[in-house]
Structure 1
Amino acid sequence: MADTYHHEPPYTIGVICGSIAGSSINRRLANALIKLAPADLQCSFIEIDTLGLYDRDLDGDYPPEATALKKAIEASDGILFVTPEYNRSIPGALKNAIDWASRPWGTNSFARKPVGIAGASPGGIGTAVGQQHLRSIMAFCNAPLMNEIEAYITFKEDDYDANDNVVNESTKEFLETYMRSFDNFVRRVLTVVPQAS
């Protein structure tokens, strides 16, 4: 299969929320980021809540939910993770999804996909430690990581309306800047790194 060195916008971005809770503040942050994304980033959620626990014995006969996850990631030009921090790391559901998507050996769906990471917490450190763990995992998965702007969000209810629009101007400006930077990062990766055609 030939490689191509250029990929034109618009770009399909798979958004993976690290929390499977319906009331997740990170789901709300993800909704806000999607709304603030530049027009050339076409964002949609990749859900992880139906996956069973990763089991290497199933590598030869992947469950349909895991196969669907891999296909959704592979069909995306880039991935945006929006995740809480649990016990100074990432949620088990997210790690489980990454394990499914990166296997069986030699079929890592994240390889060469540009990745952005953001997260919200009620506390002041805003998922910083969990994000560092996720960066380490994704580096092993050979995914280029956006490092030029970090998004450790202290979630404040008053910053968002009932439809997850950002109503705090400084928060909105920061999140818009983050998504513009992610857009630029995706463009740089996809025009430099060979992509399978």
Structure 2
Amino acid sequence: MTRNVRILGICGSLRAGSYNHGLLSALAEEAPAGVTVDLLGDWSGAPNLNVDLLDAGRPPAVVQEIAERVRAADGLVIASPEYCNSIPGALKNLLDWLSFPPPRSCLRFKPVGLVGASIGTGGTARGQTALRNSLLFFDTMLMGRPEVLVASSAVKFDEQGNLKDEEVRALLRRFLADFTEFTSSTLDRGLDPRDREFLFS
């Protein structure tokens, strides 16, 4: 690998002890040399989307800070639970905020990979489908495979939220290797959105 790759992980759940946060933490632990996986952390301060909160087309400061971190990353990995055949409303709200200013948002041409953990047997398959539909509208560069759909999460994480299932860890290593290659090839094709004028200038 000829370049270092910086990946930002966003957890779609705001719940303390979220399995999806644990999934991202495990992804960071499995990162090889030359790959950095940082976690966004608490983003619960993002307000409900209201265009009246825009200031000359600029979102609130808390959203701008998140957008700048997304834009600075080479690739984005979103780990989300599945709520009612879709994704949590708070995550959709955050993505809607990050779509500003259209069409030159921090999401445009951003390489994105999806992972998910659920206590049910579906492993977030329907939630990831809904998320893909939104991300395609935002002109992200979505990696299709491998799919990381972790079912029955209650037995795959310990009481501290650490991933203990070695098969899932092996899948995460494969996902990370493919996503690193996917991200690097996207940048090599000259689709790096960071080459544009600064997002909120």
Q: Does the aligned pair in 1 maintain the 2:22–2:163 contact within 8 Å?
A: no
For 1:145, the aligned partner's letter is: L
Q: What value does the CA root-mean-square deviation take over the aligned residues?
A: 1.9
* Pair 87,158 (structure 1): closer, same or farther in 2 beyond 3 Å: closer
Name the structure, 1 or 2, with higher relative contact order (CA <8 Å, separation 6+): 1
Aligned letter for 1:54? L
Does structure 2 retain, via aligned residues, the 8 Å contact 1:37–1:176? yes
Which of 77, 82, 86 in structure 2 is aligned with 1:85? Answer: 82
Taking the TM superposition and a 5 Å limit, the aligned residue runs for 1:1-197 are 9-46=3-40, 47-59=42-54, 60=56, 61-161=58-158, 166-195=163-192, 196-197=194-195
Structure 2 distance, partners of 1:75, 1:175, is 23
Q: Is the 8 A contact 1:32 1:164 kept in 2?
A: no
Q: Is the alpha carbon distance of 1:146 and 1:101 closer, same or farther for their aligned partners in structure 2, counting shifts above 3 Å?
A: same
TM-score (norm 2): 0.87
- The answer (yes or no) to whether the contact 1:33–1:176 under 8 Å persists in 2 is yes
Deviation at 1:40, TM superposition (A): 2.3
Bigger Cα displacement from structure 2, 98-107 vs 62-71: 98-107
Query: Contact (CA 8 Å) 1:12, 1:77: kept in 2 or not?
Result: yes
Higher mean alpha-carbon deviation, 91-100 vs 59-68, is at 59-68
| Distance of aligned partners of 1:75 and 1:81 in 2 relative to their CA distance in 1, 3 Å threshold | same
Query: Structure 1 stretches of 5 or more lacking a match?
Result: 1-7
Give per-residue Cα distances to partners, 1:98-129, cap 9 Å, x unaligned: 01111133331101110000000011110000
Whether the 8 Å CA contact 1:83–1:90 is kept in 2: the answer is yes
Partner letter of residue 86 of structure 2?
S
Task: Give the TM-score normalised by structure 1.
Answer: 0.88
4+ residue segments displaced more than 3 Å: 155-167
